[in-house]
Every structure is written in C-alpha cells, then in structure tokens.
Chain A
C-alpha cells in the first residue's frame, strides 16, 4: 500500500521503518524543527537500537521516501498516519482540513499522536465534512505503546495492538496494513476511538501517579531519615507492584505528561469532568521539580544571591535534546530569581536551551561537564545521562568553589560521594 506518515516523534520513525520493511511504499513527512534538522544533517534524532540501519535499508530499497510535511499525499495514498507531538494539534487539524478538501477521495487517517481524549473523533468530523456521498473516510487512533530501547521489537512483535475505530471499512484496512505484525495470534484490540485514547491517558496517568507517589514517599523519607532507595527495592520485589516507574526524582517532564495531554478534551472538560487525582499528581510533580532548589535554599540558609550553580542535564530525559516541561526550566527560573548564575552542561539540549532563553549574563552553556562545574557553589544532577553516572570526584572538588552535590536522580552512591569530600543530598536519602 502507499502510506504517508506525518510526524517527528520516535513513533513516526519506527512506523515508517517497520511498515516499509514489510513491503509498503512509505513517504515520511517530518515537520520543520529539531528532528527534521537532525535528519537533514544525517544525524539520528533518537538513539534507538537498529532504527538507523532499518531506515537506511528501506531508503536504499526505494520503499521509504522523504517528503515535505507542507505537501499533501498523492492520489495513490491509501492511508495517512499522524505521529505528531502533543503540541502539534493545530498542524494535525490543518492536514485533515486539506485532505477534506479533496471531495472525491477516500481517506483512512491513523492518529498515533498523544492528543487529548476526544480529538480523534473531532478530527474525523472535520475529515468527513463536505465529502462526496459514498466516499469512505475515517480517522482511527492507534495509541503508541513503544518501549524506548526496544521500540522496533515492540512495534513488530506487539503483545497487544490497541486500535480505536468505529468504521468497518477502516478496520479492514488497518488489519491489512498491520497483518505482518499480527500473525501468530490476533492481538488487535478494537475499541471506540475515545476509549482507545482514554486507555492511553489512563496508562500515562498510572505511570505518573506511581512516580508522584514515590516522590511523596521520598519527602517523607527525608523527614524520617530513611533511605528511599532501600524502600524502592523492597517495594519493587513485590510482584503485585513490580519494579517499573518507582524511581523518585526531581520531577518528570516531557510532552506526554503535560497538562494538555493529561486532561480530557475541552469539549468534555466544559461539562466539569476532570480527574482530581491526576490534577494532584501533576501539582505534586510541579512542586517536585523545585525540590533541588529547596534543598539548596535551605543549605545556604535562604541566601543564594551571587552564587553560582551548575546543572548537569537539562533535557527532560536522557537520550533527547528536548526540554518540554523539564525540571531544569523551573530550576533555572527559581535560581535566577535569587540572583544565581547558572552554568549548564547537557550532551544534547544546549542548542534548545540557547534558543529558549537567548543570550543572558546569568546563563552559561558549557560543552564540557567539568568546565560547567568550575567555580560552582553547588552541582545539581538533573537528567540521568550515562555521562554523569561515574564522575571524577577529585577533579570536581578541585574545580568547584564549594563541594556540594545535589543528586536529583539518586544515581550516585551517597557514602562514596561523601567520602570523596562532598556534601550530598539525594531525593529521599541523606
């Protein structure tokens, strides 16, 4: 089949690679931005095992083409995938509107983006407006369930495929598109579009709630002088709980956890429906993003004026250069408000930070993590990049003005850090 994929997410790239590998003719249309720039420059925007090789292979085989996101699919296109970031809803709407203008054309649109609950149905409404009679049109939703690090496998050998679809015609087509990945037994789960979207919301909500709960426990652990890491391992050993998403830290960011995604669509919200628990979880998370600031504030007895602080990591998670809702943003605002100069190192996010804040005297972006620590009164470890797991402590000590280390991800060993001559604060551990 001829398929067009719009998007700059990991899902967009994985979908393009895997579908073309089974013989589909795929055009990948990446909207302008960091990801498009990376691809144009021959860099892989996502560090996903096997992805780069598979994309190259398919391009060489001629089954995967790069197209412009500003252009519409050709007449032979049988399905259009939208694998966009949550913030790109207006773009999705404009694509749909342009497709809708071609009155005689049937369209199957597969939405893989994390948009609020109810979006797929409203996109379908837009798509169907003004279509000729007898023309089949549907927008269905296939929420992404990729496990980062094993994304290709999880797409090609899924334990379940969630599809939100209310059209028999669309079901026939999506089954055909995904047939190679659904052979051993039928794992496709069909629900109404808003049910599928809601399931994804519930999954994100559950994960966020687990993190929020652990951060709450970490605050208690701080007060009770308990090491939350011991507690975490004990909890994770219980099979009813499991180990995933139990890591306390200085808050989670990223677009999937934005208020926009975690809420129901505006149409539903005006009826007064909202999740109190998720509201609280997001609120706790916002507070948690400032936890390192609070520890620093107390350490220096409420006077931070004129100090220098180093941030290791600004991206909202390792492996990406993105800073959407990242804790580093709240830390920067908090530190600057107290007259602190901040030196930041991040393996990928420095260009994004520079674009976000522009030039300012109290922000120094450093390509080298140790250069970033020079003259600092504190070092805050904010994103758990692999680069930071085994620091050269003696070198840090000699560079920093004050040996103070705040570990926002609990990745260092407190005793070893202390024996290296530092004052250590973790999240829920002394």
Chain B
C-alpha cells in the first residue's frame, strides 16, 4: 500500500524529506523576517510572466534539491523527447506535439507544413465570416456561431474567448458554447437564435463523442424544422473540426468546411489547433497568432532555461514539494480578474485529467502521491465562499494567485476608465492581501492585538503568485503553456504518462448499456440493485406522468 506522502528511498527524496524536517518549525513569517530579500531570491520572470515563490515554505536549498530530483528523473531527457516528437504517450503509441502547433511559420518539416496549412484554412474561414460573407442556406449573413464540443473542445476555447474579450476583433460575430450532454444549454440557446443566420462548429477530435453528437443532432433538427432537410442546410450551417475526416464526411459536412487536427494533439492541449476556431473568430487571426506566439516563447523558455530560472519547472517542482514532501493534497487556482472565470475549470481538467494517475510508465503502482485535488474560482468571489476554509480550516491547501498588473488602459475604456481602474486596483489589493494573510497569519496584522481563538489566523499556508504584465493574447498564451509544461514536468517526476485518460473511457461504455435499459423502461433486475432501483424509479415517474395526462 502506497502512502501518499511516502517517498521512495532514493537519496534525493530522502534529502528532501530531511530538509523539510529542518524547515518544519519555521513559520513563513519567520522566513521573511530572516531573509529581507526573499522576494528577490524567490521570484522569476519569463517573458510577460512573473512567478513569485517567496510565499512557498521553501528556501534556496530546497530549489537546489528539487533540481537534483528533476535531474535524477531525467527531466532534461524527457523534455528533449517531448520536443523531438517521440511517442511518449506510450499507452496510445502517440507523440504529444501541442508545442508544434505554436512554432511560427515557415518551418520545413512536414508536420509544420500541415499545421500551417490548417492555420491558412482557418484564416480563410475566419475572414469569410468576419467579412459577413459566410452565407446560410437562404443566403443570409451568419451573425452567430455556436461551438458544440465538450472537454478540451469546449473548455479551452471558451476560457480563452472569455479571458480575451477585451481583445475582440471589431468584426467579430457573436460566439456561443454548448457542451452539456443533457441539452439544457443547447435548448436555451436555440430559443434565442435564428436558424437562418446561425453557424455551428462541431468540435470533436474523434467525432464520436456522444455528448457532442447529440447536441449537434439537436441543432441540425432545429435548423431543418425551419429551413428544410436539403443537404445544403448541413453544408451551409456546419463546420467540423476533427481528426476523423471520414466521420465528418458521413455526417454530411462538406470538405471545404472541415478543419483537421491530428492524433498527436491531446484534447486538453488542443486549443492551439483548429479547435481554437472560436478563439480566432473572437480575436481575429492576428490575435490568435499572438496567443500562439506567447505559448511558443514559453516553449523555448521551458526547453532552454536552467531549472533554477525555469518558470514551468519551478511551478512543477514546487507542486511536488507541497504534495509529496509537505503532504498538502488540495490546490486552489484563484484568478483576481473576472475575465479568467473559466481558468480554474480549464486547469482542473488540464492537471487532473493529465496527472490523476496511479500507475507508472512501467505499469507499476506509483510510489508517491500524484496530482492533488484542484479547484478554484475568481478570487474576489471565492473570498465570499471557500476562503474561510483556507484561513481557518483543518485541511491545508496550496494556492496559485493570478492577476494582471495593468488593466483598463486601452482606448475602448475611455469613458469609464477612472472608475474601472479603481476597481482593478481594489482587486489587486485583495489579491496581495489574501496571499499575505495566508502566509503570515496574525503576523500580518498590526502588533499588540490579542484576538480570541475563533478570530485567529494561523497562517503558514503556502501560495504562489503569477503576475501577468497584462491579460492579452500573448501573455495568456505564455501562461497556459507554462501550466502545460508544469503538468508534463510533474508527470516526469511522478513517472506517469500525462497524455492518456483511460479513466474516463469505461464510464462512456457502460452508459451505452444503461441507456438501453432506460429506453426499455425497466432494468428488469439485470444490474446491481442500486442501478435497478434508480432505473425503475425513472420508469415509474414517467408512467405516473402518462396516467395524469390520461
């Protein structure tokens, strides 16, 4: 039986454990008192990103030891294998080349040519839609685009579109996102849209995702009720983004409306590919290319910077330190900018789907704990929700505070700039105050106040702060790529494959079987007693309803 905090008997792990013991009794407030230049020593910059690790419970020696850990796990070699396009996703015999989507043109390799070709196709689609020359089947101009996807085909584009709404292209059309399997989003949205002027993007790497295909079917039926069932309706009102050309053909999407991606792009790493079409529709192609450029800069930084200056690697190693050495198994993502509303959900998927694993690359049970439970919310709103637990609960939690330094300086905010700037400053003040209070506890308060027990803050809760110059396409690209590489680097330390997701496959399969029973109207005792009971209860509710109607 593996202990979550238990570490292997390697020398480095042992050294880390001993080192942690030596720091155990030193409160973060004390660390700051002992070391006045702690911020200068423990903050790093990479392009538009500033990473402040000074409120983590570690010191310079910790980073040195963690660097040795990275070496002992051959992180350098794994980075090389990643960027060489080796099939490091070994359970699916695939490479993981999301980085290749961000390499600027022109590059001679066949992969880069494919990438650029799809970017060019994307660019043509975007231009046609922005020029108001994409026509519905009746010749009307498309005014609304609905992205139908789920998981990586939904969260990434939606998160980025929301985050960069201030960078919208002035010709942008309205974009909407539909993902939920139960149809609640699609039904609400379709009531507000006109079939004549609505275009759907079906975004599914495999083009077999049941959630997406059901939503797409509902959308098509909605169009056909008004526009008729001529195949041209599908031809004019659907774009497909998938690696499965044949399945898009079968669904009726004409070739010119198809965008391709490849099996070497994982869903949660795919917003840089044609899956990012809604982003390009929002930002324009230049904005999309800026996003890619920011990520590419981070790729280069990740490949070349030494561990002690390598922002994604430091994020990864700090996480390993907290999880495996300090035994903290919860991590909160707290953006202090409402535009990053969907970032916590996006990172939950990125980290937990990648590193929520318990078997090593060699097929053995992992010796250490892996990905912590990760969640989050826009910081100022979360202050009114779960911060109580962060400050005074019994469960330790590490935090990433994320904020842009500058905001509201763009021309478009002219009229209300002064008031909005004041709101931004208020948010920044709260961001810095919360991480300070978490770290210092009562030591952050004016001296001399003796508080009753229930009002005390014990502090000593570690957090990192990520400060962006401003939240624009380039900086966001860099931020997201940093998290992607953090995830990869942690997977290397934990010796797991971050690019597969076998844990989500089986559920899909047995749902198919269950659906048969629900349609039949009775479980007939074929399943476990809980499932039998639930299916029969549903059938009973349906029957009662029928009787009431006579």
The interface of chain A, by Cβ under 8 A from chain B, is 287, 290, 293-298, 301-302, 333-334, 337-338
Contacts and interface: CB of A to CB of B under 8 A. Distances in A.
Nearest to A291: B139
A333 B133 contact: yes
B87 interface: no
Given A302-B232, A302-B236, A337-B128, A297 B135 contact: yes
B160 to A, nearest CB: 28
Interface residues of B, number: 13
Contacts of B141: 290
A294 B139 contact: yes
A297 B230 CA distance: 14
Contacts of A290: 139, 141
B209 interface: no
B139 A293 contact: yes
Nearest to B131: A337
A301 B141 CA distance: 16
A287 B197 CA distance: 12
Contacts of A296: 139
Nearest to B128: A337
Given A294-B140, A297-B139, 7 more contacts: A290-B141, A295-B139, A298-B138, A301-B230, A302-B236, A334-B133, A337-B131
Contacts of A295: 139
A146 to B, nearest CB: 35
28 contacts: A287-B140, A290-B139, A290-B141, A294-B138, A294-B139, A294-B140, A295-B139, A296-B139, A297-B135, A297-B138, A297-B139, A298-B137, A298-B138, A298-B139, A301-B230, A302-B135, A302-B137, A302-B139, A302-B232, A302-B235, A302-B236, A333-B133, A334-B133, A337-B128, A337-B131, A337-B133, A338-B133, A338-B135
A422 B235 CA distance: 29
Contacts of A302: 135, 137, 139, 232, 235-236
Nearest to B140: A294
Contacts of B135: 297, 302, 338
A296 B135 CA distance: 12
B232 A301 contact: yes
B223 to A, nearest CB: 14
Interface in B187-223: none
A336 to B, nearest CB: 9
Contacts of B230: 301
Interface in B230-282: 230, 232, 235-236
A112 to B, nearest CB: 34
A333 B236 CA distance: 18
A297 B232 CA distance: 11
Nearest to A301: B232
Contacts of B235: 302
3 A-B pairs with the lowest CB-CB distances in the bound complex, closest first:
A294-B139, A337-B133, A297-B139
A140 B135 CA distance: 48
Contacts of A297: 135, 138-139
Contacts of A338: 133, 135
Contacts of B232: 301-302
Nearest to B415: A270
A337 B139 CA distance: 12
A294 B196 CA distance: 11
A159 to B, nearest CB: 43
Interface string B112-145: 0000000000000000100101010111110000
A302 B135 CA distance: 8
A277 B230 CA distance: 36
A337 B128 CA distance: 8
A134 to B, nearest CB: 41
Nearest to A292: B139
A338 B230 CA distance: 20
B197 to A, nearest CB: 10
Contacts of A287: 140
Contacts of A333: 131, 133
B327 to A, nearest CB: 58
Contacts of B128: 337
Contacts of B139: 290, 293-298, 302
Contacts of A294: 138-140
A298 B232 CA distance: 10
A337 B131 CA distance: 9
A259 to B, nearest CB: 16
B489 to A, nearest CB: 47
Question: Which of A294, A296, A297, A302 has the largest count of B CB atoms less than 10 A from its CB?
Answer: A302
A338 B135 CA distance: 10
A306 to B, nearest CB: 14
B196 to A, nearest CB: 10
B550 to A, nearest CB: 38
Question: Which of B138, B139, B232, B236 has the largest count of A CB atoms less than 10 A from its CB?
Answer: B139
Nearest to A335: B133
Question: Which of A287, A293, A295, A334 has the largest count of B CB atoms less than 10 A from its CB?
Answer: A334
A333 B127 CA distance: 13
B511 to A, nearest CB: 38
A297 B196 CA distance: 13
Nearest to B127: A337
Contacts of B140: 287, 294
A76 to B, nearest CB: 47
B431 to A, nearest CB: 34
Question: Which of A293, A297, A298 has the largest count of B CB atoms less than 10 A from its CB?
Answer: A297
A287 B196 CA distance: 13
A302 B137 CA distance: 6
Nearest to B137: A302
A141 B138 CA distance: 46
Contacts of A293: 139
A334 B135 CA distance: 9
A86 B139 CA distance: 32
B232 to A, nearest CB: 5
A295 B139 CA distance: 8
B123 to A, nearest CB: 15
